[in-house]
Structure 1
Amino acid sequence: MNWNELLRLPSTLLAILAAVVLFIALVQLVAARQRLHERRHFAVAGHTLLLVVFIVLGVGIAGMALSLRGYRFLDEEAPVVQLDSQILAPQRWVVTVTWPDTATRKFMLAGDDFRIEAIVLKWKLPAMLAGLPPLYRLDRISGRFDDANEEMNGPRTVIDFGQAGPLDLLDLRKQFPRWLPEVDTVFGSGAYLPLVDGGHYSVSLMRTGALVARPDDATAQRIGQPLGG
């Protein structure tokens, strides 16, 4: 992952800030030990107090970084992933997902379409006025059948992207809503398109939170062909 992609992750920025704060705490520890050797007890107490404050602050920021693992800042239109599909058998597909940092994963899907979903988090007015952008993370990808009966009775293929951290912000907001007063809304956004053999799709997220899936020109032509064409 390049630095441009890393800096789009709020967890990265918070981790850097936590490291800086904990480094300052380490400086206070060294200073406290020096003052102790000099028998300057009042200065020792001051440095010890600052040490405790910076440790608590650093651990708190590190916890926030863990809760935001997998989330990214939402720009005017953020590219999310690229998808490539290959057919294995009727209504059976292998889908390769490529992230902007070139990381890839392959999934097996059943159905006629793919559906991809994301979690979007927006802030209340004070945070918005301060320029804090919305956040998002990919949630899951699944296969979708065009026929409702097949959708009910056919094999379900749902894959969790597994991008949530151990203290995911979404879970924390559900359990402790009063702890996160600046979080305005958390909602899901999804998009689906028909799967074709050799298909290539780009998925992006608008600043409004709408997830948009687009086929390239060749894929769009194949989608428009009648079955068996």
Structure 2
Amino acid sequence: MKVFLIVTLLAGALSLVFLIAGLSALRRGRAVRLANHLLFALLSFTLAALFATLAISTRGYQALTEEQTIATVTTRQTGPRKFEARFNFGDKPEKVFELAGDELYVDAHILKWQPVGNILGLKTVYELDRVAGRYSQLEDEQSLPRTVYSLADTKPLDLFDLRRRYRFLGPLVDAEYGSATFVPAMHEGRYTLRVSTSGLLIRKLKNQ
């Protein structure tokens, strides 16, 4: 996210300033100033590293302020209990998946921030995670072939996973949770995939 990148650059520049000041104090033989400058340089560098990690791990997440449309989804049957799901994102390349099952299933990660994040201007963010075919009967889910694909952007780190691993992110990230939705998909149809702060929702287009 842009705010993380800005803070990373500012903290990185600040650590460089303190490092240069520390080297100057070293040349002048001022041990106390050297220690102070190196301490502040280390703190600034740590802050820069933290926000760089946040910038990388939130790449692909979208800000969420109200219910909004993510994609238009078209489904059509391609065989017995098999169907094609075509995702049109508008501003990104279209994605097409061959799925097995009776229903189209989509889930997402949603992140909410603590007040300190809100002060920085951060909004609730989301990222689509998976698309899958879903069988309407539990017995079929347990015994028949399943098809699952990723909808998330490829990145080296993911804040959703980092929050669950490391408690120190607790003061920044208020809540992280998954949200899922599914609809019957054995007949041709067009749907809007939407998201709000309460989660995912898929609606059939009114002209269907």
TM-score, normalised on structure 1?
0.71
Where do 1:1-229 residues align within 5 Å? 10=1, 12-23=2-13, 52-124=42-114, 126-127=115-116, 130=119, 132-163=122-153, 165-195=155-185, 198-207=188-197, 209-218=198-207, 220=208
Query: Unpaired runs of 5+ in structure 2?
Result: none
**Deviation by residue 1:53-103 (Cα, 9 ceiling, x = unmatched):** 544332221111122223222111132222222332122122222335223
Is the 2:130–2:148 contact (alpha carbons within 8 Å) kept by the matching residues of 1?
Answer: yes
Is the 1:77–1:204 contact (alpha carbons within 8 Å) kept by the matching residues of 2?
Answer: yes
Structure 2 residue identity aligned to 1:18? T
Is the 1:79–1:100 contact (alpha carbons within 8 Å) kept by the matching residues of 2?
Answer: no
Number of residues paired by the alignment?
205
Query: Unpaired runs of 5+ in structure 1?
Result: 1-9, 221-229
CA offset at residue 201 of structure 1?
Answer: 1.6
Structure 1 residues 177, 213: CA separation in 2 closer, same or farther (over 3 Å shift)? Answer: same
Is the 2:73–2:85 contact (alpha carbons within 8 Å) kept by the matching residues of 1?
Answer: yes
Is the 2:135–2:141 contact (alpha carbons within 8 Å) kept by the matching residues of 1?
Answer: yes
Structure 2 residue identity aligned to 1:121? L
Is the 2:63–2:125 contact (alpha carbons within 8 Å) kept by the matching residues of 1?
Answer: yes
Aligned CA RMSD, in angstroms, stands at: 3.3
**Deviation by residue 1:19-64 (Cα, 9 ceiling, x = unmatched):** 354356567778889x79xx7777x958777655544332221111
Q: Distance in 2 between matches of 1:174 and 1:100?
A: 32
TM-score, normalised on structure 2?
0.77
